[in-house]
Structure 1
């Protein structure tokens, strides 16, 4: 539900996207130590506020979801001249057993706002937030009903639909691929939206679907991609965190060995153009961009200003400019694809197309085509 707090946040989204769409934080963990510049009005001495996040198992350097959230915190720290370790930081989770200890460790360090990044942290955040009412928490991609928790979810199905349109127009084979992380209602939205977009353009195009049941097993991603590309599938969309790194590795290796082979990956969460670079070629067709970084940064701003949206469920989609489709690879993302994606985007914004989120809704949608 959107209220006055979120109307302010939506405006901030647009402002940040306009001013900072071309910049990203350094990927190196140690690079943020340099992001401590202060201006004459805002220094670490005048701000009594701190923020931290707990990653899911994909890790902060997954080049996807967790990394995007960390970039949001880095941007917030740089904006206010804060010092990493004192005013902002992250706790890495290698598996689910790390969630609770990491949250408690950040609590002991007295962070004012703590993010749980990913639906897998729901239970741990809910439990810790219940026992620590004076601390603000935010959960990304899940909903927790608590006065000291801000819940943020995205309309991933909308962006996935649009990259499905791109995949259908790019495919030269009779099948495209989808690689998911852990089976869940969240990743199902990616899958269903993608299938709906593909079928809207070409009802005869099949979609092969594989789930890794992990967000960190890169080898599984590579194995899936090897099988799909080997069977002639030329476009794969992944919604799988670091598993997708394996998909990119397989695609890059294939294009290195045979530059003429049509091999494409559709990235997720952030523009993954750089992940696709192999020599003079780039295998990234496009990416479904989900502005987790902006959401994290702006919720931190709201908490700092005393306007923390505790108890609210914030839903972000195309209309908020929080979901987008990257067009960085102009050699692959043709004018035909760009124009078609824009047309379908407008139909979604106009309410003409309601993108399905579940298998049942997908079945009804396909019957209506």
Structure 2
């Protein structure tokens, strides 16, 4: 009898276990979001990939049971297919960079999945679309450039400053016009007398209108050698502070400044680039103009997790917490006076009193709301 009871007990346990497996129990109840991040430069690139990955890590750290996996596809021509190949394994895919706009087609075909695009809006074919399962963020680079221009004007010793860009895409022109607006604002309101140096040999042409936009354009985002040439040419003109918005080409500008006399600086772009400025016992990064993607990625993941997510093609500025500059202790070399003035003007940009010039708003660096 005792053996029969034991056998019956074992059969009951096996039956319950089988029922749980058949119903999917024991796994999905505790399973959190599985997040993928697909980049072309890795999650340790010191730029978009790393900033987005840190946002995901912040989310994962605050939500036990969630997880992240990073995938790298360095062939720009394969990124959309790479998303399609792996999306079945993830609940959410985060994709930083303009090259991922074509993933809109994958998002449309997978409405049960969520997608976060950074610095691009989704496209299906050639058509820009807005999808319920995609949060796509772009930024008002003109605002971040504006803060950089003010910082440069307040700190220059030679009264010569410049902005160096890669290619005259709208985002780069935004940085350029914003920087020029900031210098003009500081000259008008803070008593500075900074000159914006533009080398005619490196003037840019808008990728949209073919209009001559001036500035200092390297002509590529992955040409460090030419970036160094442009940086050296500006240093030779007496420029001592440059905003560098040129992708990998910008590393050449950094190299030129590192090899120059002490007292010359760069302003980083998109993310905090202070670590990139270290050279010997000094650091050449004055501050960095920011796109605040880290907290926004984390916030959107939290909304997906909580069931409050809403698809959107968002344009983010100071009012939405999307733009800014580095002011964290130990990560910049701004004076107390500059920090105070930047905090003041940040509020004016945030509330719309100051609207820097950009490629999209029709204003010019010498004539924009709030200048006069």
Contact 1:44 1:80 in 2 (8 A): no
Structure 2 residue aligned with 1:240 = 246
Q: Secondary structure at the match of 1:361?
A: coil
Q: Counterparts of 2:76 and 2:353 in 1: how far apart (Å)?
A: 41
Contact 2:287 2:331 in 1 (8 A): no
Residue correspondence of structure 1 range 91-170 to structure 2 within 5 A:
91-108=71-88, 110-122=89-101, 124-144=102-122, 145-170=130-155
Residue correspondence of structure 1 range 291-306 to structure 2 within 5 A:
291-306=292-307
Aligned length: 315
Structure 1 residues 349 and 76: alpha-carbon distance in aligned structure 2, compared to 1, 3 A threshold: closer
Q: Please give the TM-score of this superposition, normalised by the length of structure 1.
A: 0.76
Q: Counterparts of 2:28 and 2:149 in 1: how far apart (Å)?
A: 45
- Which 5+ residue runs of structure 2 have no aligned equivalent? 1-26, 123-129, 188-192, 199-214
Q: Counterparts of 2:178 and 2:365 in 1: how far apart (Å)?
A: 12
More displaced stretch, 174-183 vs 227-236: 174-183
Is the counterpart of residue 250 in structure 1 residue 256 in structure 2? yes
Structure 1 residue aligned with 2:232 = 226
Q: Counterparts of 1:105 and 1:224 in 2: how far apart (Å)?
A: 41
Q: Secondary structure at the match of 1:60?
A: coil
Q: CA deviation at 1:82?
A: 5.3
Root mean square deviation, CA, Å: 2.8
Q: Counterparts of 2:263 and 2:56 in 1: how far apart (Å)?
A: 38
- Structure of higher CA gyration radius: 2
Residue correspondence of structure 1 range 314-353 to structure 2 within 5 A:
314-327=314-327, 328=329, 332-353=333-354
Q: Counterparts of 1:297 and 1:214 in 2: how far apart (Å)?
A: 31
Structure 1 residues 212 and 357: alpha-carbon distance in aligned structure 2, compared to 1, 3 A threshold: same
Contact 2:243 2:268 in 1 (8 A): yes
Contact 1:44 1:82 in 2 (8 A): no
More displaced stretch, 333-342 vs 287-296: 333-342
Q: Counterparts of 2:163 and 2:324 in 1: how far apart (Å)?
A: 19
Q: CA deviation at 1:168?
A: 1.2
- Which 5+ residue runs of structure 1 have no aligned equivalent? 1-42
Is the counterpart of residue 172 in structure 1 residue 157 in structure 2? yes
Q: Please give the TM-score of this superposition, normalised by the length of structure 2.
A: 0.75
